[in-house]
Every structure is written in C-alpha cells, then in structure tokens.
Amino acid sequence: MDFTDPMLVLSSWIGQIVDFGLYLLWRFIHIVVTLWYIVSGIFEAIESYAISLGLVQKYSSIDIEKLKCLAVVVDIEAAQDVSKVIELLQWLTTIGVKQVGLFDSQGLLKKSKDMILEMVPRSVLLQETGEEGSSPDGIALEFISSSDNKEAVVKAANILLHKYLKSSHPGNDEGENVFTESHLNEALRVVGENVHVPDLLLVYGPVRSHLGFPAWRLRYTEIVHMGSLRCMRYGSLLKAIHRFTGVRQNYGKSFFLHCYTD
C-alpha cells in the first residue's frame, strides 16, 4: 500500500474511525443491557421481599385448588444442597401445595428422600397416597430422575403400536391412527404406571431449560424459570404460583415460558 497517497490514507482513517465507532456502540449497548438486568434484578428482589412481608395484597390469597400437581426441577449442583430443597418444600407446604414432584437428572434427591420426608412436616411418598395422588393433611412427594418410567413408556408405546396395526388395513389409510392423551394414559395404566403430569414446572438452575425432565410428562405444563436455588425467594415462589392460579383457561391448558432473573 502506498501510504503517500492521500486518498488511501484518508480511506484507512475512515475505516478505523468506523470500526472504533461500532466498538463504542457495542460497548454502549452492552452497558445498557447489563444495567437493565441489574435494575430488573433489584426490582424483583424488592418485590419479592414485599410479597414475603404481605405488603402486596393481591398475592395474599391463592386458589391453590387449581394447582393439582407441581413439579420442581433442580440442576445437579443445586441437588447436592438438600437443605435448600427442604426449605423450598417447607415453603410449598405453607402455601398449601398438596402434590410435588422433585426432579434431578441423576436422582440425587431420591437418595436423600428419607431425610427429606423426615424434615418436611406431614410429608408422604406419592406412591402411598393411592389413586387420589395427594395428601389431605400435608404434602405428597414424588422423586423423579431421568431413568424413571422409561421402560413403562416403551411398553406403552408398544401397546399403542399394536393397537394401531390391528385397527389399520393394508392398502388404505383407514383406521385409528391418531393417539390422544387418554390413549397414552390408558396404555400406561395397563403396564401398571400411574403417571402424574404437572400443571406447573418450576426450574431452579442456571439455564432456561427443563434440565432433562421427561418430555412426555410435559404435555400441557407451564414452565417457569426461577433462577438459582441458592438465591430462591419466598416472594418469587408465591408470585409464580399466584400467576398460574390466576390465569383463566377457557379450553384445556396453555404451555408457555416465564423467566425470572435474579
């Protein structure tokens, strides 16, 4: 490049100025977004404490009967802190939740279920409550991992496939080839599995994901990301449950994602 050519020098300077301007713009946007998250987190924390203290009246009453089954998902690191899980379950008992499924992908909470049942007042295993699936005086707990019910789902799928093959006729497309939720539930009952599908799924973890919770249990489930279990707040929990119970559902249930940031 001939640096003695004024036009080339000017073009080089303009390119550097444009690059520097774009860099400043990116830094500005990054600072704005960061400040927005910080302010949002502070607001969420203040609101959570206000709800916990009963200063926000609209969260003082919850129609908990609308929440038949709640599932709580925790990441592997959080699952090792059993004391926080116990505290969360004690909060849910106070709110009046009757049925909770606890999930971590490796089943760490399942190994600590005796201690959890001992520390959570009036808690029982869901399997001991019968077909009703809830405890009238306390909270019914189900411990779930990624490996649970896989064999039962395979057996249920085989039953549905066999039913389809029997109802179909070679050479045409007639026959019952659409399976509904009732078909799946009936097939699971045949293989001896009484599956409880959660109405609401609370995710405690670093990412906005169901963290491996069995997808076939999430047919009509609302998912709420609650942030880190270490930073859990009673007010945020109450707000998430209140939002779910306050939604009017005209037909079936809706599936959508809420995100809370700490």
For residue 109, give the amino acid letter. Answer: L
pLDDT score at 99: 92
Task: Tell whether 26 and 130 lie within a shared domain.
Answer: no
pLDDT score at 261: 38
Digitized pLDDT (tens) for each residue of the chain, 262 residues in all: 455 567 777 777 888 888 888 999 999 999 999 898 888 778 777 877 777 777 777 777 788 888 889 999 998 888 888 999 999 999 999 998 999 999 988 888 888 889 999 999 888 888 777 655 566 678 999 888 876 666 666 677 777 777 776 765 544 454 455 666 666 666 666 655 666 788 999 999 887 777 778 777 777 788 999 988 888 889 899 999 988 987 765 444 433 334 443 4
CATH code: domain of residue 72: 3.40.1180.10
Give whole-number Cα distances, 48 to 36, 98, 238, 246, in Å: 18, 23, 9, 18
Task: Tell whether 81 and 123 lie within a shared domain.
Answer: yes
Task: Tell whether 69 and 56 lie within a shared domain.
Answer: no
Residue 189 lies in a domain: no
Task: Tell whether 16 and 116 lie within a shared domain.
Answer: no
Are residues 138 and 121 in contact, defined by beta-carbon separation less than 8 angstroms? yes
Q: Which of 136, 165, 184 is the last residue of a domain?
A: 184
DSSP 204: E
- Cα–chain center distance at 161: 30
Give the separation between CA 128 and CA 209, rounded to whole angstroms: 30
Give the separation between CA 96 and CA 68, rounded to whole angstroms: 11
Residue 109 lies in a domain: yes
Give the separation between CA 142 and CA 99, rounded to whole angstroms: 8
Angle between helices 82-95 and 234-246 (to 10 degrees): 50
Are residues 204 and 227 in contact, defined by beta-carbon separation less than 8 angstroms? yes
**Residue 121 zone, left/alpha/beta (φ > 0; ψ -120 to 50; rest):** beta
Are residues 79 and 125 in contact, defined by beta-carbon separation less than 8 angstroms? no
Domain that holds residue 175: 151-184
Give the separation between CA 250 and CA 248, rounded to whole angstroms: 6
When divided into structural domains, the chain yields a total of 3
Copy the structure tokens of residue 150.
């896989």
pLDDT score at 141: 92
Task: Tell whether 234 and 246 lie within a shared domain.
Answer: yes
Are residues 134 and 99 in contact, defined by beta-carbon separation less than 8 angstroms? yes
